[in-house]
Amino acid sequence: MTKKEIIDIVAEKAEISKKAAKAAVDAFIESIEASLEDGKEAAIAGFGTFKVKTRAARKGVNPQTNEPIDIPETKNPVFKPAKAFKDKVAK
């Protein structure tokens, strides 16, 4: 499903214009991004939780030269679905 398809569904179900639905979807996405940028979780009851997971720095190997390299710490967004959501998808 694409963002455009989500906007179309929101517009239809909420009986609002596509312009208003696009603004609502964009605001939703921006609020989750802002929360994660601030180091907070974004939890939606019955759906799941968005959070930032830190992956520690580690040693790696360049596959072309077999030389050791340092891989820096990274922060990645992750989504953990709620039990109700997982159960619904599993049916």
How far is the CA of 74 from the CAs of 56, 61, 64, 77, in angstroms? 7, 17, 23, 10
* Burial (0-12, 13-18, 19+ Cβ within 10 Å), 21: buried
Q: Where are the domains of the chain?
A: 1-40, 45-91
pLDDT for 8-50, tens place per residue? 999 999 999 999 999 999 999 999 999 999 999 999 999 999 9
pLDDT for 47-61, tens place per residue? 999 999 999 999 999
Model confidence band, residue 91 (pLDDT cutoffs 50, 70, 90): confident
Please say if the pLDDT value at position 2 is more than 90. yes
pLDDT of residue 25: 97
The distance in angstroms from the start CA to the end CA of the chain is 19
What dotted CATH number matches 45-91? 4.10.520.10
Distance of alpha carbon 81 from alpha carbon 42, whole angstroms? 12
